[in-house]
Amino acid sequence: MNKIIILKSGNGGNGYYKKYKNYKNNNIYKGGNGGNGGDIYIESNKNLNNLNNIKNNSIIKSENGKNGSSNKKNGKNGKDLIIYVPIKTIIINFNTNEIIHKFIKDNEKILILKGGLGGKYNKNINNCNYLGKNGFFIKIILNLEIKSDIYVLGYSNSGKSSFISSLINKKNNIKISNYIFSTNKNFIYNIKFYEFNFSIMDTPGIINKLNKNKNKKNIELLNNIKYSKLIIYIIDIYNLISFNFNLNTIIKDINNKININNNKLINEKYFIVINKIDILKNYFKIKILFNKNNIYKNKIFLISSKYRTGINNILYKIKEFLIKKK
């Protein structure tokens, strides 16, 4: 998940002077220095799981320093600004693509921009030191590494969410320990299945017809798929029929739409789940058809999320697969 923002630290306040005459008619100068502009920090917070608190393409500013005033009164410094992000957030310079920092623990606080210095009180108005210095700009990318053991991929209306709902049915002795991330219809659940813990992500439905604008968010949000241990493709019977039962074409089509081009990554860690088999009267013929398909060997599972057909089997296979990956 990425957010692009522009940061602007506060300007320094101007210095001030005023000339007085004392009782001896001598010149007396009284004034104060300008306050420094506010700094900008970014700090990690373990209680955050997303970047929803930050608006994409926004300009975020810290406070300007106050001007100095008479009687040697210095202006107040501008308030510093702290932006809070989750652990595992990476700060990247937008212009140079250089990594500024990667947060790996709680309460890391990184200075991103210093505020401008305040102007100095000076007897000579022509001396430019009395003017406060401008703050600084930087454009950065905040990249959050979203990690899940399992990614669930599929076309819109293929039954991804209902599949996950069937996994977390109480009859399976499954408990959702916490809900840790939500944005653009992505959900990660931490699930406990008979003392075995794993996380699973429900991702946005992939648009069936290739449309780069509509799938842009899919590509961005699924960039972290390389961190997963298992990919589950959800394909409903209607998709299967429309592609003339050619699973290879369907998988390639989904991968292309979300920019997955690492065949080794996919070949080592995927299941194919054929959903909505309850609508077929001739279930056993379909089962025989896929048993003869040696391309995917034991990777295919026939289920009905509606009636929970085949759910226990795939749960145990998930557990078995993830244990081997540890």
Per DSSP (E only), the strands in the chain are 2-8, 16-21, 27-32, 40-44, 58-61, 81-85, 89-93, 99-102, 109-113, 137-144, 150-154, 174-183, 186-193, 196-202, 230-236, 270-275, 300-302
Q: What is the CA radius of gyration of the chain?
A: 29
pLDDT score recorded for residue 220: 54
Does residue 216 share a domain with residue 106?
no
Q: Does residue 189 register a pLDDT over 60?
A: yes
For the chain, the average pLDDT equals 80
Question: Do 102 and 154 reside in the same domain of the chain?
Answer: no
CATH number for 316: 3.40.50.300
Same domain, 299 and 168: yes
Cα angle 44, 47, 51; round to 5: 65
pLDDT reported for residue 107: 95
Report whether pLDDT(212) > 70: no
pLDDT at 264: 53
Structure tokens at 202: 């429900």
- Band (pLDDT 50/70/90 cuts) for residue 215 is very low
What pLDDT, on a 0 to 100 scale, did the predictor assign at position 175? 46
82-103 average pLDDT score: 94
Quote the pLDDT of residue 248. 81
What is the domain count for the chain?
2
**Structural contact between residues 124 and 27, judged by C-beta atoms closer than 8 angstroms:** no
DSSP 206: B
Query: Minimal CA–CA distance to 34: which of 63, 85, 76, 62?
Result: 76
Are 197 and 248 contained in the same domain? yes
> Are 239 and 158 a contacting pair, CB within 8 Å?
yes
Looking at residue 259, its pLDDT comes to: 66
pTM (2 d.p.): 0.62
More confident residue, 125 or 115: 115
pLDDT digits (tens, 9 = 90+) for 129-158: 788 999 999 999 999 877 788 989 888 888
Of 144, 178, 197, which residue is a domain's last?
A: 144
Which residue would you say has higher pLDDT here, 180 or 253? 253
Do 17 and 101 fall within a single domain?
A: yes
Domain extent for 103: 2-144
The predicted model gives 203-217 an average pLDDT of 56
Digit-coded pLDDT (tens) for 31-82: 889 999 999 999 999 888 788 889 999 999 999 999 998 777 899 999 999 9
Report the pLDDT averaged over residues 176-184: 41
Question: Domain ends where: 92, 110, 144?
Answer: 144
Does the structure show a pLDDT above 50 at 173? no
Of the residues 101, 127, 144, the one at which a domain ends: 144
Given a cut of 60, whether residue 211 has pLDDT beyond it is no
pLDDT band at 182 (very low <50, low <70, confident <90, very high): very low
Mean pLDDT, residues 79-89 taken together: 95
Residue 125 pLDDT > 70: no
Judgement on whether residues 121 and 80 belong to the same structural domain of the protein: yes
The pLDDT-based confidence of 94 (bands split at 50, 70, 90) is: very high
Q: Residue 119's closest CA among 220, 234, 225, 32?
A: 32
Query: Do 31 and 88 fall within a single domain?
Result: yes
Residue with tokens 């949000």, as numbered in its chain: 221
Can you tell me the mean pLDDT for 241-268?
73
70 & 11 share domain:
yes
Q: Which pLDDT belongs to residue 292? A: 55
Q: 178 pLDDT band (50/70/90 cuts)? A: very low
Q: Which two tokens stand for residue 28?
A: 């007396």
Edge-to-edge strands, sheet with 89-93: 58-61, 2-8, 137-144, 89-93, 99-102
pLDDT in tens, 285-304: 566 566 555 567 678 888 98
Same domain, yes or no, for 187 and 320? yes
CATH of the domain at 61: 2.70.210.12
pLDDT at res. 324: 86
Is the model more confident about 324 or about 195?
324
DSSP-based three-state secondary structure for 326:
coil
- Percent of the chain surpassing pLDDT 90: 33
Q: Are residues 162 and 125 in the same domain?
A: no
At which residue do the structure tokens 């798929």 appear? 225
115 Cβ neighbours under 8 A, 6+ residues apart = 9, 10, 11, 12, 36, 37, 38, 39, 40, 62, 65, 77, 78, 80, 135
pLDDT for the residue numbered 213: 47
139 and 195 fall within a common domain: no
Mean pLDDT of 192-214: 69
Check whether residue 76 and residue 157 sit in a common domain.
Answer: no
- CA–CA separation, 14 and 16 (whole Å): 7
